[in-house]
Amino acid sequence: MIVVMEPKATEAQIQKVANYLEGHGFKINLNRGEVLTVIAAIGDKRMVSTSVINSFEGVHEVKLIQEPYKLAGRGAHPEDTVITFENGVKIGGSEKPVLMVGPCSVEKEFEGLLEVAVAAKEMGCEFLRGGAFKPRTSPYDFQGLEEKGLQYLHEASKRTGLLVVTEVMDTIDIPLLNKYADVIQVGARNMQNFKLLKALGNIKKPVMIKRGPSANIREFLLAAEYVIFNGNPNVILCERGIRTFDHDFTRNTLDLAAVPILRKYSHLPVVVDPSHGTGKRYLIEPMGKAALVAGAHGLMYEVHHDPDHASSDGAQSLSIPQFKEITKRINKLIGRIDYDNKATERQQKIAKEN
């Protein structure tokens, strides 16, 4: 149920409606926009009469929501969610798209990770991504450095100022990741790990959920619903491709139609991962650009200092020179960086120093 308050509704009127609904067993989520306050009430609608709620002073309208994703959907939260980080970086709404880049796995050579992080900072990226805990199909494959990997990410972050995105695999590891990461990622395999999603609702750190390989849009949004319902509104959706019948040319089928669909039906930020979505490094640039044109709030793609010897996903990782060329073109596409002006600024600085 959604209760839309009048633009001039007082705080006392808003609280009276909220208290009434809570008293009848509803879980309340208050969304305060620039003009309207919307009260999302989750519970058994048979316990209250909509006509009674309509009679409260300050109530503009009462709506019954049919879709199951009540908190992740636009009905409860008409305005876009914008997540703001401590360093001022924002994702969502009309903010400029962000870039999340880095190796699939954090490996034992810290210098390689740092080389990628320095290049990412140079190209204006905001986030360093890397897996310290790695879900692998085979138990014989590299499983990640775990806490040592998190420490490497943290050190690279300290040296460059980049925010850290890394994956959680188990509820027991949440406190550890909460210590080191700025965004905690739920991998595609865990999209419907409901115990994990509930636990992530108990923290306030942003959570990025990757779409499962066989998940439809409704299931994807319901995964986000678990996190929001349990108390954490800071959720990012990541489209990373779904499994279809054609595996001759791509690893997955990157569902770019999901971007405008998610933006229509949800207020949450949407990021696209063309690395996992295609499995081919030559497809990262065209599919990344297409995702941004479709309305994505950001891109996540894999960069490695030596892709041919990567511990995982080398075939879909960009080398650092490739990354710089591609990111330069992506930045120009979305107006993130004016390279001509930056070059002029550097020349002026050199002239002053001389």
Where do the domains of the chain lie, and which CATH numbers do they carry?
A: 2-63 (3.30.70.1140), 83-339 (3.20.20.70)
- Nearest partner of 185 among 137, 257, 131, judged by Cα: 131
* Count of helices and strands (H, E) across the chain: 12, 14
Q: Residue 314 has which token pair?
A: 């080398």
In this model, does residue 139 exceed pLDDT 90? no
Under a CB-based contact definition with an 8 Å cutoff, are residues 99 and 127 in contact?
yes
Q: Give residue 354's pLDDT.
A: 42
Per-residue pLDDT of 54-97, as tens digits, reads 999 999 999 988 788 999 999 888 899 999 999 999 999 999 99
Q: What angle do CA 308, 311, 316 make, to 5 degrees?
A: 55
Burial class, 135, CB count within 10 angstroms (exposed 0-12 / middle 13-18 / buried 19+): middle
Strand partners, 208: 185, 236
Under a CB-based contact definition with an 8 Å cutoff, are residues 292 and 257 in contact?
no
Q: Give residue 246's pLDDT.
A: 80
Under a CB-based contact definition with an 8 Å cutoff, are residues 337 and 124 in contact?
yes
Per-residue pLDDT of 267-292, as tens digits, reads 999 999 999 999 999 999 999 999 99
Under a CB-based contact definition with an 8 Å cutoff, are residues 135 and 190 in contact?
yes
Q: What backbone torsions phi and psi does residue 246 show, to the nearest 5 degrees?
A: -105, 105
- According to DSSP, residue 216 is labeled -
Per-residue pLDDT of 25-40, as tens digits, reads 999 989 888 888 999 9
Per-residue pLDDT of 96-117, as tens digits, reads 999 999 999 999 989 999 999 9
Could you tell me where the DSSP H helices lie in the chain?
11-23, 50-54, 110-122, 147-160, 174-180, 194-200, 217-229, 258-265, 274-278, 284-294, 320-334, 339-353
- Look up the pTM and report it: 0.86
In this model, does residue 348 exceed pLDDT 70? no
Specify the 3-state DSSP secondary structure of 272.
strand
In this model, does residue 142 exceed pLDDT 80? no
Q: What backbone torsions phi and psi does residue 99 show, to the nearest 5 degrees?
A: -125, 130
Q: Residue 139 has which token pair?
A: 């138990």
Burial class, 81, CB count within 10 angstroms (exposed 0-12 / middle 13-18 / buried 19+): buried
